[in-house]
Amino acid sequence: MNITLSINGARIEVDVPPRMTLCDALRQKLQLTGTHIGCEHGVCGACTIIVNGRAVRSCLMLAVQASGATITTVEGLAHGDDLSPLQAAFRRHHALQCGFCTPGMLTTLHALLTEEPYASEERIRDVITGNLCRCTGYIPIVEAALDAREAYQRSRESAPL
Amino acid sequence: MTGKTIGVSVPRLEDLPLVRGAGRFVDDIHLPGAWEAAFVRSTHAHALIKHVDTAAALALPGVYGVFVLADLLPHVATHLLAVGLPSPSYRQIVDRPILAGEEVVYAGEPIAVVIADNRYIAEDAAGLIEVDYEPLPAVSDIRNALDEAAPRTHRNAPHNLVAEMQLAFGDVDAAFASAPRTRSEQFFLHRGGSHSMEGRGLIAYFDKIDGILTTYNSTQTPHAAKRLLCDILRLEDDKVRVITPDLGGGFGPKLVFYQEEAVVCLAAKLLGNPVKWIEDRREHFISSAQERDQRWDVEIAYDHDGLILGVRGLVLHDHGAYTARGVNVPYGSLSALPLAYEVPTYRMGVKLVLTNTVPVAPVRGAGQPQGIFVIERLLDMMADELGLDRAEIRRRNLVPAEQMPRTKPFVTRGGIKVVMDSGDYPASQQQALDRADWDGFHNRQAAARTDGRYVGLGVANYVEGTGRGPYEPVTVRITNAGKVQVSSGAVAMGQSTKTMLAQIVADQLGHDMDNIAVTTGDTAATTLGFGGFNSRQTVLAGSSAHAAAIKMHDKLIKVSSVLLEVAEEDLEIYGNRVRVKGSDAEVSFAAILQAVSGIPGFRLPDNISPGLEFTEQVVIDPMTYASGSAVAEVEVDIDTGHVAVHRIVFAHDCGRVLHPQIVDGQVLGGIMHGLGNALFERMIYDENGQPITTTFADYLLAGADETPNMELIHLSAPTPLNALGIKGVGESGVLPIPAAVISAVENALSPFGVKITQAPISPPELVALIVAARNRQSVTAS
Ligand code: FES
Ligand code: FES
């Protein structure tokens, strides 16, 4: 089936089998392998992408259901060569070790901080309870998100929604 | 002891591609035209296979091959994976076949493989394969597996005992005979799986023209995988290349070589097409090695002051259905128990028990948390009995700092003397206690109780053998672009191995991290290698990198001295060049390389040996012993049994710290894993050997809301055993945590006299203990 969608700012047409999951379509059909698969049960959050502004588990969605959607994946977070403030904060805070959960953490937190740039530590923690990480113990991830808030606050002020 | 790149938190080499989504994990590698594999796995814990009907699967469009064991036998030198580490303790050999033939012995054991256009079709076809089973009785509980009447894990085996051994020193029976006090306890301990967020997986490609098998494999031990592939497929060692791409975590089980690796490589060779197999999470639960049950029957002898006189007992250890690694996990348990404390006499036996479950191999910590749990719980119970403070009884028994280096009267499983080389264990405990306000906790606890809140504090110490030898090679080479290329048999699985090697090399060669490139986990880059396990890579590969970089440093200076006609002592390395101190005169690494590469027919400058490449494999046999102490503070909801871990204070000594941020990260991650082992993680099988917990919804990993406040204290006593003074750290966080947390829970519940002899403990189990203890109390009261 042919579907058209917008991914990381580009309009893309792709032919997918009806039963193909969205994460498989991204990874296999579009070579966007930054989105990872950790469980395929909707529990680990590694496959999280942003669909029409909301953090979504791409393992629980069929590609055909994304027809017409606007999608951001981890590959779409940086601005050209410059890391996004959240990505840079992850680096500074050692918020990744193996980096396998990282794309899902980044997209989840990007969606959160875009909506709620003043999110509290508790709120941040609460939102990423749905993302498993075996390496970091989560503390540096929360610290990185807190550190990145300011940039989201600034961009909200300069471009009010 | 800090340098410009050592001892400081430089940016990690690994991060940039990973935060951009440009990492290269095995499933990210798409070889053109690659097919995908799906395995048919046993649905029974124990059964005979009467017949496997593959016709319907083969007929499905898009299917290129279906193989059962009989199809593969003509193409392999052996179909058994003989991987057990050497030990005289085996009573029977139970190696895994690459596919099950007549008998399956655990649910999840692979029986057949389908190769198809893609995984969707491969799974469709796998579903069409009919396996005709004749179910056999299964055994899944170590507590009755050695009974005469118990079903045999393997139908023709004489019994379920696969190995037995003991660790013993001193006259333990005499110590017990004359001891003023003894007590005997039983503990039941469980650890789960590794659950790296990325499962196992590989792609194999056989090039018919040059006869080379190349495989990208999510393994911690590419060199071992290569050796086995050579043996099984009858290939010479220059015809197999194993590459570990980015690894989404390892934590132990990825050091094992698995059936799927042999089968996928063989299928790629037979079909003449690249084949990929990626383990899904369910498969990880039913086919990747785990650590599970141990039952300890143990006695301790001590005097009225609480000094330990002897420990003896017997451990039953769940081995799973086959030998996937050997006897190292229970050996780790036995040898961890008497390390931190003065234990003058000791005899601990262990029986390794076969069960119809997934094979057991190390998970981060490799048996040591269990041994530590047992001695720590015994110390708590002794303190309670003697009316001593729990910290005080430990203080009296900890090996004192004045005795370092201290030889323990036993050897590692490799026969190497156990010498605790450095550290101050009592100081470590004291620092952790002070930070956690151990002495003032009494008041806080009492105040909380008047509010109906049950808070508790627990403490545990650990000593860990790290840096298992003998060596890990590192090659340092200058490229034509003047870059420093570092290659190692080490494997990067998230612990920042590349950054670590680059830091050590940069410290000698110009301090420019951007000028250093690191290749790890590629058998084509180094002939020899072991890989990542046992908190060993910074110690072994780090030492080799250090030695190779020094040689490179000296040669760069020597050649530059000839080229620039300046004395060696007037030269220094800066960035990617050698310059004359305090002047503009300099020569680049690239130019130096050109000079020593030579011109046909001409003499090399000053007869210097050609090339800029050094390989070192520093051999370090003795392990270096890291140590530390954890204090846990918890609050227990006595109605629901929910345990909230509020705070962990963790003091530790991993020798000289190369990268403070990375060390913190390793410890924090280990602590979280330890919390899981104390409270959450449980791989459950029913009595028929059926796995019950096969998703993250049933098997609980600690999430961000379970993270306590964590405070780390670094003691850093450098080891004399390697030039850099480093000890391993990757596993340390996990070791004392189950013991400290359970101690804290018991302490919180001390008004009821609850006694906990297991880990993990779930809320319902805790409620049951509280109810039972309260009933006892009311009986005594009435
Ligand atoms: S892969 Fe989608 S939630 Fe785990
Ligand atoms: S960084 Fe490895 S799973 Fe999160």
Q: Which residues contact B374 (CB under 8 A, 6 or more apart)?
A: B187, B189, B296, B298, B337
Q: Please report, for the domain that includes residue A36, its CATH number.
A: 3.10.20.30
| Residue identifier of the C-alpha nearest atom 3 of ligand 1 | A42
Dihedral, B554, B555, B556, B557 alpha carbons, nearest 10: 50
Q: Are A30 and A21 in contact (CB under 8 A)?
A: no
| Domains held by chain A: number | 2
Tell whether B701 lies on the interface with A, counting CB pairs under 8 A.
Answer: yes
Q: Are B752 and B781 in contact (CB under 8 A)?
A: no
Can you tell me the distance from the alpha carbon of B743 to that of B377, in angstroms, rounded to the nearest whole number? Answer: 7
Could you tell me if A53 and A100 lie in one domain?
no
Q: What does the pLDDT read at residue B411?
A: 87
Exposed e or buried b for every residue in B151-163, given b needs 16+ CB within 10 A? bbbbeeeebbbbb
Give the helix, strand, coil percentages of chain A, each rounded to 5. Answer: 45, 15, 40
**How many CB atoms are closer than 10 A to CB B285?**
25
Measured in Å, residue B292 CA sits from the centre of ligand 2 at 23
Amino acid at B218: S
Residue numbers of A between 8 and 27 with CB closer than 8 Å to B: 17, 19-20, 27
Measured in Å, residue A31 CA sits from the centre of ligand 1 at 18
Q: Do domains B292-467+621-781 and B469-616 have the same CATH topology?
A: yes
Could you tell me whether strands B47-53 and B130-135 are parallel, antiparallel, or unpaired per DSSP bridges?
Answer: antiparallel
For ligand 1, say whether the CB of A68 is within 6 Å of any of its atoms. Answer: no
Can you tell me the distance from the alpha carbon of B460 to that of B391, in angstroms, rounded to the nearest whole number? Answer: 9
Nearest chain B residue to A43, by CA:
B696
Q: Please report, for the domain that includes residue A97, its CATH number.
A: 1.10.150.120
> Which of B404, B393, B422 shows the shortest CA–CA distance to B625?
B422
Q: Which atom of ligand 1 is nearest to the CA of A40?
A: 1
ipTM of the complex: 0.96
∠ CA A45-B110-B211, nearest 5°, is 95
For ligand 1, say whether the CB of A43 is within 6 Å of any of its atoms. Answer: yes
pTM given for the model? 0.95
Mean pLDDT by 10 residues, chain B (782 residues): 78 93 96 96 98 97 98 96 82 95 97 97 97 97 96 96 96 97 97 94 96 95 94 94 94 94 97 97 96 97 98 98 92 95 97 97 94 98 97 97 91 86 94 96 95 97 88 91 91 84 92 92 84 74 91 93 92 94 92 86 78 90 90 97 97 90 92 96 95 94 93 90 83 94 97 96 97 88 67
Name chain B contacts of A106, Cβ cutoff 8 Å. 19
∠ CA A104-B37-B68, nearest 5°, is 145
What distance lies between CA B717 and its chain's CA centroid?
A: 23
> Which of B782, B686, B679, B780 shows the shortest CA–CA distance to B46?
B686
Can you tell me the distance from the alpha carbon of B243 to that of B740, in angstroms, rounded to the nearest whole number? Answer: 40
Inter-chain residue contact A139 with B710, CB threshold 8 Å: yes
Name chain A contacts of B630, Cβ cutoff 8 Å. none
Residue numbers of B between 94 and 153 with CB closer than 8 Å to A: 118, 120
Could you tell me if A64 and A106 lie in one domain?
no
For ligand 1, say whether the CB of A37 is within 6 Å of any of its atoms. Answer: yes
∠ CA B197-B627-B189, nearest 5°, is 55
Among the three residues A27, A54, A76, which one is the final residue of a domain in this structure?
A76
The two tokens of residue B27 are 């499933």
What distance lies between CA B335 and its chain's CA centroid?
A: 16
Can you tell me the distance from the alpha carbon of B246 to that of B219, in angstroms, rounded to the nearest whole number? Answer: 10
Could you tell me if A29 and A61 lie in one domain?
yes
Q: How far is B36 from chain A (nearest CA, A)?
A: 12
The CATH classification number of B34-136+194-287 equals: 3.90.1170.50
Residue among B12, B18, B35, B648 with most chain A CBs within 10 A, to mutate: B18
Across the interface, of B197, B707, B710, the residue whose CB is closest to A46 is B197
Residue numbers of B between 273 and 302 with CB closer than 8 Å to A: 280-281
Name chain B contacts of A134, Cβ cutoff 8 Å. 194-197, 249, 251, 669, 673, 701
Measured in Å, residue A36 CA sits from the centre of ligand 1 at 8
The fold for domain B469-616 equals Aldehyde Oxidoreductase; domain 4 (3.30.365)
Q: What range defines the domain where residue A31 resides?
A: 2-76
Give the helix, strand, coil percentages of chain B, each rounded to 5. Answer: 35, 25, 40
For ligand 1, say whether the CB of A49 is within 6 Å of any of its atoms. Answer: no
> Which of B131, B97, B165 shows the shortest CA–CA distance to B333?
B165
Tell whether B710 lies on the interface with A, counting CB pairs under 8 A.
Answer: yes
The two tokens of residue B400 are 């004192």
Tell whether A128 lies on the interface with B, counting CB pairs under 8 A.
Answer: yes
Q: What does the pLDDT read at residue A161?
A: 47
Secondary structure, 3-state, B182-244:
EEEEEEEEECCCCCCCCCCEEEEEEECCCCEEEEEECCCCHHHHHHHHHHHHCCCHHHEEEEC
**CATH top-level class for B292-467+621-781?**
alpha beta
Which residues are near ligand 2 (CB < 6 Å)?
Answer: A 96-102, 133-136; B 197, 249, 494
Residue among A109, A123, A134, A139 with most chain B CBs within 10 A, to mutate: A134
Measured in Å, residue A137 CA sits from the centre of ligand 2 at 9
pLDDT at A80 exceeding the cut of 70: yes
Collapse the DSSP code of B598 into the 3-class scheme (helix H, G, I; strand E, B; otherwise coil) and give the result.
coil
pLDDT at A24 exceeding the cut of 90: yes
Mutation choice for ligand 2 from A74, A102, A106, A142, CB with most ligand atoms inside 8 A: A102
Can you tell me the distance from the alpha carbon of B213 to that of B207, in angstroms, rounded to the nearest whole number? Answer: 6
Name chain B contacts of A33, Cβ cutoff 8 Å. 21, 25, 27-28
Name chain B contacts of A139, Cβ cutoff 8 Å. 668, 707, 710
The tokens 């990825």 sit on which residue?
B254
Tell whether A111 lies on the interface with B, counting CB pairs under 8 A.
Answer: no
Among the three residues A76, A103, A134, which one is the final residue of a domain in this structure?
A76
Across the interface, of A38, A46, A90, the residue whose CB is closest to B19 is A90
Amino acid at A121: E
Could you tell me if A65 and A92 lie in one domain?
no
Tell whether A91 lies on the interface with B, counting CB pairs under 8 A.
Answer: yes
Measured CA to CA in angstroms, residue B11 lies from A92, B5, B227, B482, B516 at distances of: 7, 10, 35, 22, 13
Domain borders along chain B are: 34-136+194-287, 292-467+621-781, 469-616
The two tokens of residue A15 are 């032919």
Mutation choice for ligand 2 from A133, A138, A141, CB with most ligand atoms inside 8 A: A133
The percent of residues in chain A predicted with pLDDT above 90, rounded, is 93
User: What would the DSSP string read from start to end of B271-323?
Assistant: HTS-EEEE--HHHHHHHS-B--EEEEEEEEEE-TT--EEEEEEEEEEEEESS-
Q: How far is B194 from chain A (nearest CA, A)?
A: 9
Collapse the DSSP code of A87 into the 3-class scheme (helix H, G, I; strand E, B; otherwise coil) and give the result.
helix
Could you tell me if A98 and A72 lie in one domain?
no
Q: Which residues contact B652 (CB under 8 A, 6 or more apart)?
A: B428, B626, B627, B628, B629, B667, B712, B713, B714, B715, B729, B732
Exposed e or buried b for every residue in B308-330, given b needs 16+ CB within 10 A? bbbbbbbbbbbbbbbbbbbbbbb
Helical pair B737-748 and B660-675, crossing angle rounded to 10 deg? 50
Q: What does the pLDDT read at residue B538?
A: 79
Residue among B8, B19, B117 with most chain A CBs within 10 A, to mutate: B19
The tokens 């049933």 sit on which residue?
B698
Q: How far is A93 from chain B (nearest CA, A)?
A: 8
Mutation choice for ligand 2 from B195, B197, B661, CB with most ligand atoms inside 8 A: B197
Question: What is the Cβ-side half-sphere exposure of residue A52, based on CA atoms within 13 angstroms?
Answer: 6
Inter-chain residue contact A27 with B704, CB threshold 8 Å: no
The tokens 């410290």 sit on which residue?
B507
Can you tell me the distance from the alpha carbon of B535 to that of B462, in angstroms, rounded to the nearest whole number? Answer: 15
Which bound ligand lies closest to the C-alpha atom of A37? 1
Q: What does the pLDDT read at residue B549?
A: 94
Q: What does the pLDDT read at residue B657?
A: 87
Mean pLDDT score across all residues of chain A = 95
User: What would the DSSP string read from start to end of A105-137?
Assistant: HHHHHHHHHHH-TT--HHHHHHHGGGS--SSS-
Q: Which atom of ligand 2 is nearest to the CA of A98?
A: 2
The two tokens of residue B686 are 């029913």
Q: What does the pLDDT read at residue B1?
A: 40
Name chain B contacts of A87, Cβ cutoff 8 Å. 19-20
Q: Which residues contact B401 (CB under 8 A, 6 or more apart)?
A: B423, B424, B425, B426, B427
For ligand 1, say whether the CB of A45 is within 6 Å of any of its atoms. Answer: yes
For ligand 1, say whether the CB of A7 is within 6 Å of any of its atoms. Answer: no
Name chain B contacts of A99, Cβ cutoff 8 Å. 14-15, 18-19, 23, 246, 248, 494
